[in-house]
Every structure is written in structure tokens, then in C-alpha cells.
């Protein structure tokens, strides 16, 4: 169930359960899940090194994993569990949990370029989420509250404690996110992306849903299992083809890519100097057929700032804001650029190569092209 749901969007957080490309968040999540399994096995000391590795790989996601492991450890303690069990029928029972998140940090006033970059990430602004994104955030918490009650009534102690830990974790972080998003004084904390706590919640949702389906519906019937696995994995395959329609589903080694953008990036990597400095459409990641392939990662060459992915870096490192805005502004109107515009970029920033639409503007020294793009030197 978890493997089939890896392309599932996590409410309004701009995350899937797993990225479809190599990303430290995927590896960090694996270590976090292993750490949680150690806490469930009441070997919490074994979780510490796994959480440390996760923190080195992806500090934000690891911090959320550490938070959940701490809550799970407390819930697994018998005195705490007995106290929480006594509150299960009290509507105010969760109130002390929501008050336990410290938010006393003080930050410098944000710059205008930082705010501009922040506004490109709509998922930071919780109170601008749509109703179905709010439903995607709150419904899982209600389901885990219900699962806690049912499992407790049936004497399924471990499941009840696990569900309670997820519910408590969700209440704490949801309250913290709402406070952060609703306070202008705390705007500098928004890049910490507090709603990404839902990433773990959705993993647990898929994990427990699959477990309950197997136990109560599929049971030991091989035909039910075969039908279930076929349907759920076909759904994942269809969603991936819709997301990346212009790319191969599996990128086999040593096979020429079919995506024209990836072809261009491969040519750049193999045929340009390692110190080549490129300019390309600042919104190239969202271009039709590009499928969000990264130029820097695949071509291994430097480029001027882009207006999509680099904005996320500016929200994390505000000092980059002025440089990012200056470079993005210099590339405004890219689709109408002529030789004089490229020469201006060369003079202003030192770029000596461009990746442009084919057929290219007159005057460029082009060394390669396909049906979509041309790689050219600026004279």
C-alpha cells in the first residue's frame, strides 16, 4: 500500500510521499521510519543514530521525525498512556497538547526580495489553502483519533498507542502551523514549512490502511490480493504518466533520452567546458514537455538564477535574495530575446552560453540543436 501510494500528494504541502527523483528527503524518510520501528519495539536507543543520519540528510524532515519519536516514546510509557486513556472522553483532552509548542524565536525584518521569493511558494500560506487541502490536513487526524478509540475498545494496545501518538503529533504541529501562519511577526518561520508534518501522517495512513485491508478484507485469498495489487499499482502508474508525460517511465542506463530537454542537458554536459556559464529561460522548469528536469543536476553546469526552484533557496537563505532578484529580472521577457539581450547578460553577469528555443535568434554561435532547443555561445 505504501509503495503504491508514493505519488500521493500530501494535502497542500507540495509534497508527494516520495519524490520521483533522487532526493535526500526520500533517504531521510527511510531512516525516520526505521527509527520509529525501533521506538515501537521499545528500543529507543537504537533510534538515535538513525535520526542523526536523517538530520544530516534533511534537517527539516528529520526534526519532524524526532518530534514524532519523542511523542511516541512518551505514549509508549504506561503511566502516560493511562492518563491519556482517562481523557479520551473529554472534549478538552487535547488542549494541553496544543499549548506545548514553544514559539519564542525572534527574527530580523524580511527584505523585499525575500518576500517576493516567499510569495512564489503558495503552500507556505496555510490560510490561503483550498477547502479540500484543509480536508486533506484535518481528516487524517480525525481518522487516527477514531482508530485510537476503536483499537482501545478492542484491546489492541500497540495499535491504540501508535494511533494516539499520531493524533497527538498532528494536533501539536497543526496548532503550531496555524499560529505561525496567522502571525505576521513570525513570517520568517514560514520557510520551516510546519505543515510538512503531514508527510509522516500520510505514510502512516497508507501503512495502516494497507494493514487493515489485508487483515479484514483481503485475508488469505490470493485472487483478492492479486486484484488489489493490480488495481492500486495501475493507479500509481497512470498518475506518474500524467505527471511526466514527456519522459520515459524508467530511465535505463546508456539509453538515449527521448525528452528533448534532457537531450540538450546531456549534450551540454559532454561538449561544453566545465566552467561554462549558461543562461536559459528562467521558467524553463515549467515549460511544456520539460517535466521539471534540473539543468544544474543533469548538465552539471552553472546557470543564472531561475524563477521557480531557486526561489525556494532564497526563502531558506535570505542573503541570496538581492542577487536572485537581479538575475531573474535581467532575464524578464526571455522569449523575445535577441542577440543584444544575450550580449547584455554576458556583460552584466559573465554568461557565455545560452540554451534557447530552436530555431535560435540570429547572431548566436550555435553548436548543437534538436527539434526544440539549441545550445549556443554568445559571441
Same domain flag for 175 and 42: yes
The percent of residues in the chain predicted with pLDDT above 90, rounded, is 62
Same domain flag for 190 and 97: yes
Same domain flag for 365 and 217: no
- In the chain, % helix, strand, coil (3-state, to 5) comes to 65, 5, 30
Rounded Cα distance, 258 and 225, in Å: 35
Rounded Cα distance, 217 and 340, in Å: 68
Of the pLDDT bands very low, low, confident and very high (cuts 50, 70, 90), residue 102 is very low
The residue with cell 526563502 is: 315
Q: Kindly state whether residue 90 falls inside one of the protein's structural domains.
A: yes
End of a domain among 215, 243, 271?
243
Same domain flag for 270 and 343: yes
SS3 assignment for 137-200: HHHHHHHHHHHHHHHHHCCCHHHHHHHHHHHHHHHHHHHHHHHHHHCHHHHHHHHHCHHHHHHH
C-alpha cell at 190: 514560514
Q: Kindly state whether residue 222 falls inside one of the protein's structural domains.
A: yes
Q: At what angle do helices 131-153 and 198-213 cross, to 10 degrees?
A: 50
Show Cβ contacts of residue 155 under 8 Å, excluding neighbours closer than 6 positions.
none
Residue 110 C-alpha from the chain's centroid:
24
pLDDT, mean of residues 301-316: 90
Q: Kindly state whether residue 122 falls inside one of the protein's structural domains.
A: yes
The domain in which residue 165 lies consists of: 3-243
Q: Kindly state whether residue 248 falls inside one of the protein's structural domains.
A: no
Please report the pLDDT score of residue 108 as a whole number: 60
Rounded Cα distance, 286 and 132, in Å: 24
Same domain flag for 281 and 234: no
Half-sphere exposure of 117 (CA within 13 A, CB side): 30
Cis amide leading into 359 (omega within 30) = yes
Q: Does residue 24 contact residue 58 with C-beta atoms inside 8 Å? A: yes
pLDDT, tens only, 274-297:
999 999 999 999 999 999 899 999
Of the pLDDT bands very low, low, confident and very high (cuts 50, 70, 90), residue 104 is very low
Same domain flag for 19 and 49: yes
Same domain flag for 189 and 281: no
Q: Kindly state whether residue 252 falls inside one of the protein's structural domains.
A: no
Same domain flag for 214 and 303: no
Supply the pTM of this predicted model: 0.80
Q: What is the tally of structural domains in the chain? A: 2
End of a domain among 199, 215, 243?
243
DSSP class of residue 94?
A: T
Same domain flag for 52 and 79: yes
- 160 pLDDT more than 80: yes
The residue with cell 496548532 is: 175
End of a domain among 243, 274, 293?
243
Rounded Cα distance, 368 and 186, in Å: 49
Q: Kindly state whether residue 290 falls inside one of the protein's structural domains.
A: yes
Please report the pLDDT score of residue 93 as a whole number: 44
Same domain flag for 239 and 275: no
- 161 pLDDT more than 80: yes
Same domain flag for 90 and 199: yes
**What is the helix (H) or strand (E) element at residue 366, kind and residue range?**
strand 365-369
Q: Kindly state whether residue 181 falls inside one of the protein's structural domains.
A: yes
Q: Kindly state whether residue 253 falls inside one of the protein's structural domains.
A: no
Same domain flag for 181 and 58: yes
Amino acid at each position: 500500500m505504501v509503495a503504491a501510494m508514493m505519488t500521493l500528494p500530501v494535502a497542500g504541502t507540495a509534497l508527494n510521499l516520495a519524490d520521483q527523483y533522487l532526493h535526500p528527503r526520500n533517504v531521510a524518510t527511510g531512516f525516520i521510519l526505521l527509527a520509529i520501528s525501533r521506538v515501537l519495539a521499545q528500543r529507543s536507543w537504537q533510534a538515535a543514530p538513525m535520526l542523526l543520519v536523517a538530520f544530516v540528510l534533511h534537517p527539516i524532515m528529520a526534526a519532524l521525525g524526532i518530534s514524532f519519536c519523542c511523542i511516541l516514546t512518551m505514549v509508549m510509557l504506561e503511566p502516560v498512556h493511562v492518563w491519556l486513556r482517562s481523557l479520551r472522553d473529554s472534549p478538552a483532552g487535547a488542549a494541553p497538547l496544543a499549548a506545548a509548542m514553544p514559539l519564542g524565536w525572534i527574527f530580523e525584518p524580511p527584505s523585499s526580495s525575500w518576500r517576493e521569493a516567499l510569495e512564489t511558494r503558495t503552500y507556505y500560506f496555510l490560510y490561503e489553502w483550498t477547502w479540500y487541502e484543509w480536508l486533506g490536513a484535518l481528516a487524517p487526524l480525525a481518522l487516527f483519533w477514531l482508530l485510537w478509540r476503536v483499537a482501545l475498545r478492542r484491546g489492541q494496545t500497540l495499535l491504540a498507542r501508535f494511533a494516539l501518538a499520531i493524533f497527538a503529533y498532528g494536533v501539536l504541529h497543526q496548532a503550531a502551523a496555524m499560529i505561525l501562519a496567522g502571525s505576521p511577526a513570525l513570517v520568517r518561520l514560514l520557510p520551516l514549512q510546519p505543515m510538512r508534518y503531514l508527510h509522516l501522517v500520510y505514510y502512516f495512513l497508507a501503512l495502516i490502511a494497507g494493514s487493515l485491508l489485508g487483515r479484514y478484507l483481503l485475508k488469505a485469498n490470493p485472487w483478492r490480493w492479486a486484484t488489489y495489487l493490480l488495481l492500486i499499482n495501475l493507479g500509481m502508474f497512470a498518475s506518474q504518466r500524467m505527471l511526466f508525460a514527456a519522459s520515459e517511465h524508467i530511465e535505463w542506463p546508456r539509453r538515449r533520452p527521448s525528452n528533448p530537454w534532457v537531450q540538450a542537458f546531456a549534450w551540454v554536459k559532454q561538449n561544453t567546458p566545465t566552467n561554462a556559464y549558461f543562461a536559459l529561460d528562467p521558467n524553463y522548469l515549467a515549460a511544456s514537455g520539460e517535466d521539471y528536469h534540473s539543468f544544474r543536476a543533469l548538465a552539471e553546469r552553472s546557470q543564472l538564477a531561475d524563477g521557480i526552484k531557486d526561489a525556494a533557496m532564497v526563502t531558506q537563505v535570505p542573503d541570496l535574495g538581492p542577487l536572485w532578484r537581479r538575475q531573474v529580472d535581467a532575464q524578464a521577457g526571455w522569449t523575445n530575446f535577441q542577440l543584444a539581450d544575450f550580449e547584455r547578460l554576458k556583460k552584466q553577469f559573465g554568461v557565455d552560453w545560452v540554451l534557447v528555443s530552436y530555431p535560435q535568434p540570429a547572431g548566436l554561435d550555435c553548436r548543437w540543436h534538436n527539434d526544440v532547443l539549441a545550445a549556443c555561445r554568445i559571441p
